[in-house]
A and B are shown apart, each in its own frame.
Chain A
């Protein structure tokens, strides 16, 4: 029975199962519940309003005009009243975002120290607060890094920072006020300004030492590290302030602080109008820095950031080194970037027959022709074994979902379900016996084994969703190369024909890709998957209306990825936040 164990390696892909309780026994797959996990502070203790020491809220002192919102005076037509914006915890800048932000803030190139803790993830996402663990190492490393970077910025006399001559009167105040405004991404409170200038005054050493010290203090301040949100009305869901909207936009599209144009738009309250938000997001998407959004989508939405943590073993696949993994990731990122910039219809994410290939990848795809290290847009219909449709045909997801020496039908099925269909399949309930039957034929293929397994009525509900996409993808080996037979000792042809949960018979990946690409639920799913990048929370069962507003019943053959992003940004889910008194 040794052989089937090896093939069956993929049947226990998720490690020691421990059930999630009986509620899943009959309910089968469900929409991902965005509210699970995360810190649960005890509720019911004293909740103060968002008052600062001076008694004023940040919103009141920073907005132009009288500060009180004229829009949400209650009533059903008030913005943010019609659907719950959902709770978003306090987001910290991720390590990636910190690096870009420091560069823009200080105007010097910034390198991340090797020892600085990298971002953790939850559900694949890094800027969702539940992913952001505090560690002593993080705080210490940050302290050291910022002290160093502050020194470098002053020594370089960066014009972004040194907006005047240190010898001039009141220049230090000017430098620090401008720095702090841009670092905190909003006008300062009076006590913040006094605190900062007081710190500077009490510092020791030369003028440059004092300045370095004050800068380092700003870079460690919570107002810099965290994206504190303020709304117009702390007691009920209401619009975010313009500066918070600017911050949300800039970290969504560029992973960095707002630029001057965004700050200017915030100052004139243009961002409180959805049209103003749309204008900015389109401008930002056209900017080269939007490649960071493509990176985030590949890494977090599609989960390909895990490529470096999992995948087949190097012993079995020696060609799979970091450089190859990087190339695989880059392909998907460029693919998404093109979808954004050329405004391709959403369906093409599934059905496109062109992608970005360099020499390494051309070899794996089996594409004739001469390639270099550079990536070029290439017609994949020339690949070995025929067209590689869209994301389903790319190397990175196939590699990431394999482990040891084999592919995994269930891991791949789960990836497709989660990333492209937005159907979350829970682990098997505890009362189930998940052991394989004793009488499996010796030469059963993985596909045959899952079919036997799926025939067990206790397993059918979930596995009828999970298995078919994985079966279809068996045509790709553990690093994504096309294959027509299982390797020795099994040595049998690969048959990918399968039946989807709704009874549709499908013969191969291309057919499946066409079906998914034509399904209007794709639009909502993409919105669901990209939303956490914009807002910092996962969507849950109470967000159906919000998703419907974003997707607008569009046809995936016509709506573009850009359209989806614009609709996210225009939605109440993006523009609004809950009141402070969380239930």
Chain B
């Protein structure tokens, strides 16, 4: 990919680059790309995720007329979103051992990794899965629109790893995105890191590429080359196990090289102050952290730094973060609302995350995208792989989707895929929705996960 290839969108935004002479400007474009204004507002996606579900089906309204209780925050967006009820992802969340299904439904721990991949875990210990829909869509849109990144993936600060319950690697709980079978995407959990990612190499004051940055890029590329060579040499000296580990490093080095190559920076990103460095592990800063990350997501989408953002609002299990929604017990214990928790406390937690989701929707709606709300060109999905938390119901994933209206998404309705108690193999797979999202993005996948078809949100 040519280093000079400019992001078409940032050209269209225009402000700040009038000093570039026309012939040079032409040279910056691939000759086969026309400057089509229809593409000027490309389709973007956000995937918001909460891990522990809710009380029964409370996050899957059957009517959008009255939005009360935990759904009350969504009332402000009435008409702008739809509810997709009853999709089944439980088939991907069984833990088999010797082909015996252990029958725990969708345990909270593996809700996250299967939500966007719709496949069973490739291994309990190693972090193996398959490409997630956000990464597939992101890579496609990156190629289409020349964004610097394919996606930004954001987490809640959870960093657990190592073998835990049921011999499953605890790291799965904070991983939503996979690029390939072995390449999981470790999320960003610092506001300053995401900010640096968005503004890499450009001044956040005036949007002009930083000359020192160009020199640094060259240095980094050379070091990466040298490092890759030496890793390859070391590989020949290692046993089989360790070679696999080195392969992961080599892939990561290549990814970074590609990212550095794709580096022309958005010239017209609005200026933005560096955010405070908020710690998601500090309950007093947690809400501000989540909202600040939402602000940065909006910025990244608006500036076409990335077409896709993935946002894990919380990780799933085992004594995670107490104090959310003012509830002093840990979230996971509370989510078992018939035994160790109670329904009212779980609703307080749900409401807290719903308010964060609404904050993002609101920012998308308020942000200008060439004369339209950014939300109109953004499919903003918010959901979980579990409905009733206590019974681990993974067969009725609660999903709310806002935006995308400029691309034909029909909002203000409920799509019901048999919201009821279901067995394995029953109902419509969650993967069908993801396949439909890919189609919306112009990506035709032959298959995805355990999809049996695709759900067309424009119909």
How many residue pairs, one in A and one in B, have C-beta atoms under 8 Å apart? 254
Evaluate contact between B219 and A223: CB separation under 8 angstroms: no
In chain A, what residue has the closest Cβ to B243? A41
* B3 close to chain A: CB less than 8 A: no
Whole-angstrom CA separation of A41 from B159 in the bound complex: 24
* A77 close to chain B: CB less than 8 A: no
Chain A, range 420-458, C-beta contacts under 8 Å to B: 427, 430, 435-436
Contact code string B151-191 (vs A, CB < 8 Å = 1, else 0): 00000000111110111110100000000000001101010
Contact code string B104-141 (vs A, CB < 8 Å = 1, else 0): 10011100000000000001111100000000000000
Sort A-B residue pairs by CB-CB distance and give the 6 closest, nearest first.
A122-B162, A135-B186, A41-B244, A18-B166, A404-B329, A37-B125
Contact code string A2-42 (vs B, CB < 8 Å = 1, else 0): 10010011011111111111000000000000001111111
Q: B residues within 8 A CB of A87?
A: 241
* Neighbour of B166 across the interface among A8, A115, A427, CB < 8 A: A427
Q: B residues within 8 A CB of A289?
A: none
Measured CB to CB, the residues of A under 8 A from B are: 2, 5, 8-9, 11-21, 36-45, 47-48, 50-53, 57-58, 87, 89-90, 114-115, 117-118, 120-123, 129-131, 133-140, 143, 147, 191-192, 195, 199, 203, 213, 216-217, 220-223, 226, 228, 308-310, 312-316, 403-405, 427, 430, 435-436, 580-582
Evaluate contact between A114 and B192: CB separation under 8 angstroms: yes
Q: List 26 A-B contacts (CB under 8 A).
A: A9-B329, A16-B165, A18-B104, A19-B102, A36-B167, A37-B167, A38-B125, A50-B238, A87-B241, A90-B242, A90-B245, A90-B246, A115-B193, A136-B185, A140-B256, A216-B219, A220-B223, A222-B246, A315-B323, A315-B326, A316-B328, A404-B322, A404-B329, A427-B166, A430-B104, A436-B339
Whole-angstrom CA separation of A118 from B224 in the bound complex: 22
Whole-angstrom CA separation of A48 from B169 in the bound complex: 30
Q: A residues within 8 A CB of B277?
A: 114
* Neighbour of B340 across the interface among A11, A20, A51, A315, CB < 8 A: A11
Whole-angstrom CA separation of A192 from B229 in the bound complex: 11
Evaluate contact between B244 and A51: CB separation under 8 angstroms: no
* B281 close to chain A: CB less than 8 A: yes
Q: B residues within 8 A CB of A213?
A: 219, 222-223
Whole-angstrom CA separation of A403 from B108 in the bound complex: 18
* Neighbour of B240 across the interface among A47, A121, A191, A192, CB < 8 A: A47
Stretch at the interface among B19-27, B70-78, B247-255, B289-297: B247-255
* Neighbour of A12 across the interface among B97, B245, B340, B342, CB < 8 A: B340
Q: How far is the CB of B224 from chain A (nearest CB, A)?
A: 7
Q: B residues within 8 A CB of A137?
A: 186, 188, 193
* B11 close to chain A: CB less than 8 A: no
Q: How far is the CB of A524 from chain B (nearest CB, A)?
A: 22
Main SS at interface, chain A:
loop
* B317 close to chain A: CB less than 8 A: yes
Residue among B190, B252, B329 having the largest count of chain A Cβ atoms under 10 Å = B329
Evaluate contact between B162 and A37: CB separation under 8 angstroms: yes
* B231 close to chain A: CB less than 8 A: yes
Chain B, range 340-395, C-beta contacts under 8 Å to A: 340-342, 392
Evaluate contact between B233 and A403: CB separation under 8 angstroms: no
Evaluate contact between B126 and A40: CB separation under 8 angstroms: yes
Q: A residues within 8 A CB of B224?
A: 143, 220
Q: B residues within 8 A CB of A123?
A: 162-163
Q: B residues within 8 A CB of A40?
A: 123, 125-126, 241, 244
Chain B, range 390-413, C-beta contacts under 8 Å to A: 392
Evaluate contact between B223 and A52: CB separation under 8 angstroms: no
